[in-house]
């Protein structure tokens, strides 16, 4: 399976990725207030990872379901939500062929998880499946990397670090330029965690993971062509009043889709 081994370490993932969670959840709530069903309460987190949004939104009063292909991530979300006595359901599922049932007011797929859909066919099928899980007028929010400069395609590196308790996690996100296939628009990227704990330092190399380059215009065409969603807006930051444009262009594009 095309899986990074860092996803077998949910506790380190939870520390390394905690930085912007509150702002991202604020954005989800702002989208619900602006466009969502009037009494939105049921949310679906696709590729939920260690559950940073799932758990925060459950704390804010939503009923949240998280799905992820990694059993370790799912077990972690189940344990954390049980400890906090929160109304969360988490299960193993694959975004390329989701098997869960139910009806949700909004779904979201954050932090580049959407780019695991490698072909137009996978993207279209995924959009149709998600639309089938949404209530009328339901929202689907996506957030994935786009190149801020074209000469950086398949060539970006990002790094940051986060500390919680006595543990520091340094996250390195790398793209492997030699792996770029311009025909399929896919390339390998990789996550590396360097973890510093009282017991010592360890490095966890996730290994190359095949991902898709998805450009803004192309994404719009795929959403329109799916026949099930309208693309309401795109943003370069988690801020509804800031559109995705040359001024705000960043390394990520956040999109608000609404079920037709
Ligand atoms: C970069 S993490 C993002 C996690 C979370 N959305 C966040 O914002 O922190 C990507 C997650 O997608 C999951 N994933 C990878 N391939 C998947 C697939 N085919 N179906 C469902 N989840 C997948 C990984 O296990 C991992 O937890």
Read off the pLDDT band of 1 (50, 70, 90). Answer: very low
Domain with CATH 3.40.50.150 in the chain: 5-147+213-259
Percent of the chain with pLDDT over 70: 100
Who lines ligand 1 at CB under 6 A? 7, 17, 47-49, 52, 68-70, 73, 94-96, 110-113, 116
How far does residue 67's CA lie from ligand 1's centre (Å)? 9
How far does residue 219's CA lie from ligand 1's centre (Å)? 19
CB atoms inside a 10 Å sphere around CB 111: 17
| CB-based contacts of 254, cutoff 8 Å, min separation 6 | 27, 141, 142, 143, 234, 235, 236, 237, 238, 244
Q: Phi-psi category of 54—alpha, beta or left, where left has phi over 0 and alpha has psi -120 to 50?
A: alpha
pLDDT of residue 248: 76
How far does residue 138's CA lie from ligand 1's centre (Å)? 22
- State the closest ligand 1 atom to the C-alpha of 7, by its place in the atom list counted from 1: 25
CATH number belonging to domain 150-211: 2.20.25
How far does residue 14's CA lie from ligand 1's centre (Å)? 12
- Which residue, 215, 143, 153, is CA-closest to 189? 153
> Which region among 15-29, 34-48, 121-135 has the lowest average model confidence (pLDDT)?
34-48
- State the closest ligand 1 atom to the C-alpha of 49, by its place in the atom list counted from 1: 27
Quick: pLDDT tens for 149-189.
888 888 999 999 999 999 999 999 999 999 999 999 999 99
- State the closest ligand 1 atom to the C-alpha of 17, by its place in the atom list counted from 1: 9
How far does residue 49's CA lie from ligand 1's centre (Å)? 5
pLDDT of residue 2: 73
Mean per-residue pLDDT for 133-147? 96
Q: Tell the residue nearest (CA) to atom 19 of ligand 1.
A: 94
Rounded distance, CA 194 to CA 198, Å? 13
Domain with CATH 2.20.25 in the chain: 150-211
pLDDT of residue 54: 98
- State the closest ligand 1 atom to the C-alpha of 10, by its place in the atom list counted from 1: 27
Quick: pLDDT tens for 188-226.
999 999 999 999 999 999 999 999 999 999 999 999 999
- Which residue, 30, 67, 92, is CA-closest to 242? 30
Pick the CATH number of 5-147+213-259 from 3.40.50.300, 2.40.160.40, 2.40.110.10, 3.40.50.150: 3.40.50.150
- State the closest ligand 1 atom to the C-alpha of 45, by its place in the atom list counted from 1: 6
Tokens of 108: 């979201």
Q: How far is CA 239 from the centre of its chain?
A: 16
Q: Phi-psi category of 205—alpha, beta or left, where left has phi over 0 and alpha has psi -120 to 50?
A: beta
> Which region among 13-17, 126-130, 139-143, 246-250 has the lowest average model confidence (pLDDT)?
246-250
């Amino acid at each position: 399976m095309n899986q990074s081994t860092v996803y077998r370490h949910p506790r380190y993932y939870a520390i390394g990725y905690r930085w912007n969670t509150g702002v991202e959840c604020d954005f989800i709530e702002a989208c619900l207030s602006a466009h969502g069903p009037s009494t939105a309460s049921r949310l679906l987190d696709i590729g939920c990872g260690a559950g940073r949004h799932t758990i925060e939104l459950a704390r804010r009063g939503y009923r949240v379901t998280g799905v992820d292909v990694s059993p370790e991530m799912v077990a972690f979300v189940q344990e954390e939500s049980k400890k906090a006595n929160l109304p969360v359901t988490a299960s193993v599922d694959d975004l390329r062929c989701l098997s869960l049932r139910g009806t949700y007011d909004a779904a979201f797929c954050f932090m580049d998880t959407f780019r695991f859909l490698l072909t137009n066919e996978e993207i279209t099928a995924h959009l149709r499946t998600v639309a089938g899980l949404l209530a009328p007028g339901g929202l689907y929010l996506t957030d994935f990397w786009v190149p801020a400069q074209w000469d950086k395609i398949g060539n970006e590196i990002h790094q940051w670090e986060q500390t919680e308790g006595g543990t520091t996690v340094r996250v390195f996100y790398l793209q492997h330029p030699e792996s770029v296939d311009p025909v399929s628009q896919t390339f390998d990227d990789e996550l590396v965690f360097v973890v510093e704990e009282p017991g010592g330092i360890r490095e966890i190399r996730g290994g190359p993971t095949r991902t898709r380059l998805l450009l803004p215009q192309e994404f719009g065409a795929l959403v329109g062509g799916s026949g099930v969603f309208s693309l309401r807006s795109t943003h370069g930051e988690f801020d509804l009043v800031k559109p995705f444009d040359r001024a705000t262009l960043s390394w990520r594009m956040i999109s608000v889709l609404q079920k037709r």
